[in-house]
C-alpha cells in the first residue's frame, strides 16, 4: 500500500481546508478502503481463533452497531467496499 502524498505534505495534513475537492475525494476513498481492509482483517483473525460460526455472529453484531451509528446507507457502502477489496485480492 502506498502512502497518500496529501497526508505528508507540510500544511495540508494539518488543514483539510487547504485540500482541493479532488484531494479530499482521494483521501476519503483511501479511508474507505483502509476501513474495509481492517474489517476484513479482523474477521479473518476471529474466524481463525474462534471458528466460522462465532466469527459470523461477531460480524452480525458489528454490522448492527454500524447500521445504528451510520444508517443503512453507511453500512451498505462499507459492505460494498469490503466486497470490492475482497474481489481485488482474489484477482
Tell me how far apart the alpha carbons of residues 48 and 51 are, in angstroms, rounded to a whole number.
6
Question: How many alpha carbons fall within 13 Å on the CB side of residue 46?
Answer: 16
**pTM of the model as a whole:** 0.79
**What pLDDT, in 10s, does the model give residues 26-75?**
989 999 999 999 999 999 999 999 999 999 999 999 999 999 999 999 99
Residue 7 clears pLDDT 80, i.e. is over it:
no
Alpha helices in the chain (DSSP H): 21-50, 52-90
Exposure string (b/e) for 56-91, b if CB count within 10 Å is 16 or more?
eeeeeebeeebeeeeeeeebebbeebbeebeeeeee
**What pLDDT, in 10s, does the model give residues 69-82?**
999 999 999 999 99
pLDDT for residue 24: 86
Amino acid at each position: 500500500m502506498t502512502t497518500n502524498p496529501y497526508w505528508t505534505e507540510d500544511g495540508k495534513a494539518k488543514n483539510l481546508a487547504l485540500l482541493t475537492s479532488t484531494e479530499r475525494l482521494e483521501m476519503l476513498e483511501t479511508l474507505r478502503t483502509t476501513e474495509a481492509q481492517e474489517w476484513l482483517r479482523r474477521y479473518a483473525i476471529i474466524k481463525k481463533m474462534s471458528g466460522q460460526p462465532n466469527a459470523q455472529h461477531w460480524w452480525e453484531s458489528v454490522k448492527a452497531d454500524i447500521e445504528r451509528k451510520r444508517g443503512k446507507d453507511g453500512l451498505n457502502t462499507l459492505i460494498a467496499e469490503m466486497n470490492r477489496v475482497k474481489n481485488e485480492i482474489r484477482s
